[in-house]
Structure 1
Amino acid sequence: MAYRNKTYICFDGDNDMKYYRLMTAWAGNENFSFDFHNAHDLNSARDSSQEESIKKQLRERFANSKLLVVLIGENTRYLTKFVKWEMEVALRLELPIVGVNLNGSRATDDLCPPTIRDGLAVYVPFGAKIVEHAMTNWPASHLAYKQEGKSGPYHYTEQTYKNLGL
């Protein structure tokens, strides 16, 4: 297996691009330590052959991914062509999942896509410190919970936020 060192970002490209772009700015800033693979530099597919070609490229990107970050906005739960498929692939690959709530929620809520709602994932609000914390720490927690046979949504305690100055 190839060395998995990338973070795959899944999001609504029509409505939530500004949040993705802000994360790319964080990644380009030397004061932030996370990195991710650009997995959504796509235009809309119009036919099944183009869709399959795009999915083939996305599968290659998943091969190097250690983590899935889902930016959860108002419409994310309704997207079925790529976003749902990306979440399904991550679940099949048993990748750790960080749900990033663009509405500021610190836990899963009614905007959470059904595909990951009951899966093992941690949910945080959009913000550099907590997203970086989750990206750094959730993979080990995910592995430990998997080994214990646990599943379902998780969130960080108030103390975690206090420790981060939030």
Structure 2
Amino acid sequence: MAGAAYVVFDGDNDKWAYAYMNGWKANKYIDFTYENAHDLDTMTGRAQDEQYVKSNLRARMKKSTAVVVLVGEKTKNLYKYVRWELELALELGLPIIAANLNEKNRQDDDRCPAIIRDKGCVVHIPYKLAALKHAMSYWPGEFSRMSAADKNGGARHYSEFDKI
């Protein structure tokens, strides 16, 4: 993927999935690379201050070319950061990849945050290495070529991942 990917996730319950992504990236035997927007800078000890954290996260997202949201069981209920990050992604016009941790290859209405539900700027994929690699490689370019009407259309997915 050209450019940085900003990963949004439930830090209390889904950090394992984020760690897997970074593990795949670090493993020389796995063909999975991406520039992690969270590695672009570090937060100081002031990271407990919400205004400081959001300012830092905003700067990271502005340097990103796509947003990956790891959609877990409780993701849709998180407003302090997850919803704020998704609002910011929409505001910045970034393509969004919703990776379903239950491996569903469609929008999961029971888990998908309402703010990105039925949005044309979102591609929904199963949380699988091949699907993540494909979406991170192709969705930003596909999104940039879409018309405004298409970007406002319904949820998207890749049918080639229906069987995995």
- In the superposition, the TM-score normalised over structure 2's length comes to 0.85
1:99 is matched with 98
Write the letter of the residue equivalent to 1:87: L
Secondary structure of residue in 2 paired with 1:38: helix
1:6 is matched with 4
In structure 2, what is the Cα distance between the partners aligned to 1:148 and 1:117? 17
Write the letter of the residue equivalent to 1:113: P
Identity %: 37
In structure 1, what is the Cα distance between the partners aligned to 2:125 and 2:161? 10
Secondary structure of residue in 2 paired with 1:124: strand
- In the superposition, the TM-score normalised over structure 1's length comes to 0.84
Aligned length: 153
2:23 is matched with 25
2:137 is matched with 136
In structure 1, what is the Cα distance between the partners aligned to 2:155 and 2:74? 20
Secondary structure of residue in 1 paired with 2:104: coil
Write the letter of the residue equivalent to 1:138: W
- Runs of 4+ in structure 1 displaced over 6 angstroms? none
In structure 2, what is the Cα distance between the partners aligned to 1:69 and 1:148? 21
Write the letter of the residue equivalent to 1:51: E
In structure 1, what is the Cα distance between the partners aligned to 2:78 and 2:60? 20
In structure 2, what is the Cα distance between the partners aligned to 1:67 and 1:29? 22
In structure 2, what is the Cα distance between the partners aligned to 1:115 and 1:6? 22
Segments of structure 2 that go 5 or more residues without pairing to the other structure are none
The alignment's C-alpha RMSD in Å is 2.2
In structure 1, what is the Cα distance between the partners aligned to 2:12 and 2:115? 20
